[in-house]
Structure 1
């Protein structure tokens, strides 16, 4: 087993990632709370800042998905529609089968530069 594989299997490494995620989340959420002052003054700046701060939290989970698990997300689409991705508003519905599907959606959103404004909604459909 190589060094990276050994580190990925250690509980201490899991614990460090967990603490970093929780601490950075608390710091970023506190900064987001302070940006509420901007809402009555400049809403566009408020939205831009919160989009960037949201990206900081979400990108940590995308990094874990891509680096830790080595997951490859592939999108199959019409070649004519591809240049429009990330430049227009859209609602993307994923075929949710496993708990990690929303992260694959975030991974695709990261590739197109819209992760900061991405909002996951959990819908439970019984078949």
Structure 2
């Protein structure tokens, strides 16, 4: 959530959102007298307040980013590999660093208030399908496509040459070995990517929220 000229990124929730983690998180919020969040986990304030204190005089602002994928889609690496198209809307807000309190406790309260605002933004997006404020759609840049095609050609040319050589050899053993290797590699990549799916995520956060920050 925290971004600056130094490209420093901080995800204050600390873990991916699941219903179980959200339930535990809101139990902690209730015990601390904090308003319940509907779409977010309770932010972990220690890392944020420490980062803000250390970055004073170095960076100018904190940028809060809220991202939503259209159609309630849940993107995955497998989906990207399969060529699925995902469209998203992003709400970016800028907060000058001097607006964030110096005191650690007050800075933590500022972060909790920010997440309450983020929850309200999410509620509005769910109702209207857009974020409030000025809408901006970046223009398509031909250079991005040209850059992709260039590197794809450079990196994939040796692979295509290798594949052509295998099939041109006419050796059944070599061809079967190559196909077996490709199949095994494809299976391994799918298994590794499957671990990154949210529903298969770790239990981290289920109990951690019950500990004092």
| Alignment TM-score > 0.5, same fold | no
Higher strand share: 2
Scaled by the length of structure 2, the TM-score of the pair is 0.19
**Normalising to structure 1: TM-score of the pair?**
0.29
